[in-house]
Structures are given as structure tokens and as C-alpha cells.
Structure 1
Amino acid sequence: MSEVVKSYYDENAGQEWERLNRPYSGIEFRSTKHLIQKYFPEKGRVCDIGSGPGRYAVELLKQGYNVTLFELSPKELELAAAHIDRLGLKAGGFICGDARELRGMENGHFEAALVLGPLYHILEEQERLRVIQEAYRVLKPGGIVLFGYINSWGALKAGVTEFSESFRELDKIYDYLTELKLDESRGFTECYFTVPPQALKEVQTGGFEILSYAGAEGFLAGTQTEIGRLYREDRVVYDNLLQAASETCEAPQFRDATEHLLVVARKPAGE
């Protein structure tokens, strides 16, 4: 992964910890936790690949999983270690490195894995496949993994309210109907956007069986402004919407048009 991406996360480590506390990002957080509870084994070793500052690692540790954090940004890994220590929790390990080569990870060691960030930032397909294949390598046969992608179709919907000025040229709208590769001048850093059929094909090419996929924001995708208002003005409605969106995040009528795509996959049991 590039130095541009590493530098971005080094400089924004604290912001990444706080991001999932925001009213709209809270939908993504809750949906992801819903899928973890539904598909992960009840106990075991989990590899959090692209762990960031450790928000999901903390949740998993609280539930009794043995979690190893693997992260590109040393600043984010330091922040994760500090939060885990402050909470009196103990991780299985902290490893700083590139997700395309999981150094220090044994073959077939983990019952489950998260890969929620790395695939957002790798522009070339063969390099993304290396990440997927490395996750495959470190999982036990039958192991479960949750892959995260940024979804172009959902980004288009969100863009109507979040960055509509970029649509002054008609072609820019149609760009979001397929994959997008953005450098740091066009994205928040180097970014890769894809669409659900392509993401599913990529995960299968890496050797995995697809169990399900979900749209993290569910039916609330593209409603950031209104969700923020409800969070401030009517917390009961906000909480109800959050619960319903997370519990229905796999529904076909919602999942293809959300900003964050979550693919649930399994390493075949016989391998």
C-alpha cells in the first residue's frame, strides 16, 4: 500500500477512532457488529487486518475473542494499543505491516478475520487479490471473513447531498456506475470504489465461498443530513432507525446502493 495512504492514516489516527461515533457512521458500525454476531464463530482467534485504531478489535475483545491487530499505520496501531490497555483488555498481538503480505501470521491459524479497510485503497486488482489470498492463507478451513469495499453505486446516491458540486459535468455522474480509481487529489486519499457484482467476483477469485453480502448503511444510505438532525432532535426515532437498518442490512432491496459494502465469505471446509 502506498506511502500516501499510510501518511493519511498516520495524520488522522484520532479522527478514525472518532469516526464511528458520528450519527451517520454509527449505522455502519452497528451493521458490521450485527454481521459479526450472526456469522462469526462464538469464540476463537480473529485477525483484524487493517484494524485502524481498534474500534472493532475492542468490541471483539470484550466478547472474549483472541484478536490480533494488523495495521499499516503505526500511529493507528499505537492508538489501538492505548485504548485496549486503558480498557483492561489484552490483544493476541499488534503487527504493523502491509495487508498484501501478512508477515508473522501462520497458515490456517485464525477462525475468523476482518478486512474492513485495505481494499478501499488498493487500485490494482492483482494487488487486491493478494490481500484476499493472504486472508485465505491465515484462516482455518471453514474460517469466516468479512471484507469491506466502498460501493460506487452508494457513493453516487450519497453524492447528491454530500458533494453534488462535482456533478456539474454529466459524465461525472455516470462515472459512478462502475469502478473508480481516485488519487489523493480526487479522494480523501488514494481510493478504490467498486460495484457489488465486481466485489463478489473478486472475493470468489481469491478462493472464498460467498455466504452473504450487506450494505452497511441499509435503507438509510444517503441520508446523512437527516440522520444527523434526528440524532440531535429525536433520539428515539434515530435509535429505532439504526436498529432496523442494521438488522435488514442484507436485504436485497437495500444492499446494492449503500456507501459501504460488506461481503461475508468462508474458506472452504475441505481446504
Structure 2
Amino acid sequence: MTIELEKHYNKFCEDKRLTRRHGQVEYITSMKYIHECLENMTDVKILDVGAGTGRYSVQLANEGYDVTAIELVKYNLGILKSKKSTVNAMQGTALDLSRFEDNTFDMTLVFGPMYHLYKQEDKVKALEEAKRVTKVGGVILVAYIMNEYSIITHGFKGNNMKECIETGKITEDFHSVSEPEDLYDYVRIEDINGLNEEVGLRRLKLIAADGPANYMRPVLNAMDEETFELFVKYHLTTCERPELLGASSHTLDILIK
């Protein structure tokens, strides 16, 4: 799995993903809720697990926060370090945060790992580690990619549905089945709820991080700036609505220890 991820991110420009318009929606939304969580905190220590190229960790460090970043992929880590921020960045995995003591961080971000962990026990382990290193009363923000986005875009829009059913990549109730070579894993809200229950984490909010943005890439790219700002305003107004959560391509789970 590690080798496959290395190959993927050596070709995929993660640094630019969140600067494109559909990615901007996800980034703006996530930062809004990060800042909401930080409002009443002082002397904050933040851990960014699976930090990628540092889109979040570098910005938070530039805002004056004490940020530590863990990234598995050397290529991404190199880009993060090249930004010359105050982020304490190091290579590591979400499954083993043993270099950190219990109750160390006020906020822990887990924005990348759950995309790539397809085994239930690994997802549980990543959440348990995030919980362990977070202080009591601290917050853990976890990002997921949602199942219905995969079904609609890769399955139906990409015209792969019949093949996926024949090869067992999709169950009878249309839940995608991921293997290591697939790189990405897709979940439903009940899957997320089950993880939280198993690890013993309480939800503050579940957010549609990008709502319909990923489905609308050409439309967003064609918008003038004023219309795009209206779309972002619409999204931020509706991103907590429960009827829209499962259809979002990404969700952001905000949890408290």
C-alpha cells in the first residue's frame, strides 16, 4: 500500500488540488470549521496527520499556531518542508503515533489517512491513535470520501458500473468495496458512525466539506468570480444540512475527546 501511495502522489499534484475551484470549496469550508474550533482555545498545539503538502498545516503555522505534521509520502513531505514554515514536519503513519505522548495536542487533523485505509481495523487504529494523542476536551477533525460520490462519478458517469458489479467491486446495495490497489476507500455515514462508536468519540458536527462542488467542476470553472462567491456562500449555508451530507464527495467529522 505504501509503495502504491508513493507512486500515486509522485504523479498526482496534491499541492494544486485545493487551489482549483472545487478544491477551494473544500479548503474554505474546512478552514472555517477549524477556526470555529480554535476560537476558545489558547496556547494551541495542533497535529496534522497525513498532512500532504501542508496546505492546512502551513497556513495554520503562518497564523501563529504551533503545528506538527506527519506525512507518509516522502515526495509530499519534501514539498511541505520546501515551504520554509515553522511546521515541525516528519515522516510517519497515522497507524503509529508512538513518538507522541498521550494528551499532547489540542487539535488533531486526520484529513488524508481515511481516504487510503480500507481495512476496518486500520481505520479504528488511526482514530484510536488520534484520540490518544489529543488532550481531553480537545477536538479531532476527520475527513472521509463518500460512497455515493464514487458510485455516481466512477460507476455511472464513468460507465464502469456493470464491470464493477461483475468483479465484486460494488455490493448488491451499491456500496463500493476497496482493495489496496484501489488506493481510495469510500464510506457512508453509518460506516463513520460505527467507527466513532467503536473508538468512543463523540461528534460535535458532521459537515459536507465540498457538497456538490466535485460534481460541478466544469460549471464552477466557468463561473465569474462573483457567481463563484455566491456558490461558496450557498454551500456554507447548507453544508450542515443532514439531507445533503451523504451526497457530498467529502465529509468532515468534528469530534471531541
Question: Could you say whether these structures have the same fold, taking a TM-score greater than 0.5 normalized by the shorter chain as the test?
Answer: yes
Structure-2-length-normalised TM-score = 0.89
Residue 176 of structure 2 contacts residue 186 of structure 2 at CA under 8 Å; is this kept in 1? yes
Q: How far does the alpha carbon of each residue in 1:11-51 deviate from its partner, in whole angstroms, 9 at most, with x for none?
A: 147x1011111111111111111111222354400000000
Match of 1:128 in 2: 123
Q: How far does the alpha carbon of each residue in 1:48-103 deviate from its partner, in whole angstroms, 9 at most, with x for none?
A: 000000000122112221100001012211211111x1xxx312x21211110013
Give, in whole Å, the separation in 2 of the partners of 1:45 and 1:22: 29
Residue 179 of structure 1 contacts residue 195 of structure 1 at CA under 8 Å; is this kept in 2? no
Structure-to-structure mapping, 1:198-237, within 5 angstroms:
198-220=191-213, 222-230=215-223, 234-237=224-227
Give, in whole Å, the separation in 1 of the partners of 2:70 and 2:117: 16
Task: Point out the more displaced range, 248-257 or 144-153.
Answer: 248-257
Segments of structure 2 that go 5 or more residues without pairing to the other structure are none
Residue 97 of structure 1 contacts residue 103 of structure 1 at CA under 8 Å; is this kept in 2? no
Structure-to-structure mapping, 1:83-102, within 5 angstroms:
83=83, 85=84, 89-91=85-87, 93-102=88-97
Alpha carbons of structure 1 residues 157 and 165: separation in structure 2 relative to 1, 3 Å: closer
Alpha carbons of structure 1 residues 148 and 248: separation in structure 2 relative to 1, 3 Å: same
Match of 2:56 in 1: 56
Task: Point out the more displaced range, 218-227 or 71-80.
Answer: 218-227
Match of 2:254 in 1: 264
Residue 212 of structure 2 contacts residue 249 of structure 2 at CA under 8 Å; is this kept in 1? no
For the aligned residue pairs, the C-alpha RMSD in angstroms reads 2.2
1:245 equivalent to 2:251? Answer no
Match of 2:174 in 1: 177
Number of equivalent positions: 252
Match of 1:39 in 2: 37
The percentage of aligned residue pairs carrying the same residue is 23
Match of 2:102 in 1: 107
1:196 equivalent to 2:189? Answer yes
Match of 2:25 in 1: 27
Secondary structure at 1:223 match in 2: helix
Match of 1:16 in 2: 14
Give, in whole Å, the separation in 2 of the partners of 1:109 and 1:135: 10
Q: How far does the alpha carbon of each residue in 1:217-259 deviate from its partner, in whole angstroms, 9 at most, with x for none?
A: 12545222211221xxx11101110232134311112212111
Task: Point out the more displaced range, 108-117 or 190-199.
Answer: 190-199
Segments of structure 1 that go 5 or more residues without pairing to the other structure are none
Residue 150 of structure 2 contacts residue 176 of structure 2 at CA under 8 Å; is this kept in 1? no
Alpha carbons of structure 1 residues 76 and 141: separation in structure 2 relative to 1, 3 Å: same
Give, in whole Å, the separation in 2 of the partners of 1:102 and 1:116: 15
Match of 1:140 in 2: 135
Structure-1-length-normalised TM-score = 0.85
Alpha carbons of structure 1 residues 243 and 81: separation in structure 2 relative to 1, 3 Å: farther
Letter in 2 for 1:46: I
Task: Point out the more displaced range, 104-113 or 220-229.
Answer: 220-229
Match of 2:2 in 1: 2
Give, in whole Å, the separation in 2 of the partners of 1:265 and 1:12: 33
Q: How far does the alpha carbon of each residue in 1:150-202 deviate from its partner, in whole angstroms, 9 at most, with x for none?
A: 100133344478x4321355948964832431443xx4xx2211111111220
Residue 189 of structure 2 contacts residue 246 of structure 2 at CA under 8 Å; is this kept in 1? yes
Residue 149 of structure 1 contacts residue 260 of structure 1 at CA under 8 Å; is this kept in 2? yes
Secondary structure at 1:147 match in 2: strand
Secondary structure at 2:118 match in 1: coil
Give, in whole Å, the separation in 1 of the partners of 2:60 and 2:235: 21
Give, in whole Å, the separation in 2 of the partners of 1:177 and 1:39: 35
Alpha carbons of structure 1 residues 220 and 6: separation in structure 2 relative to 1, 3 Å: closer
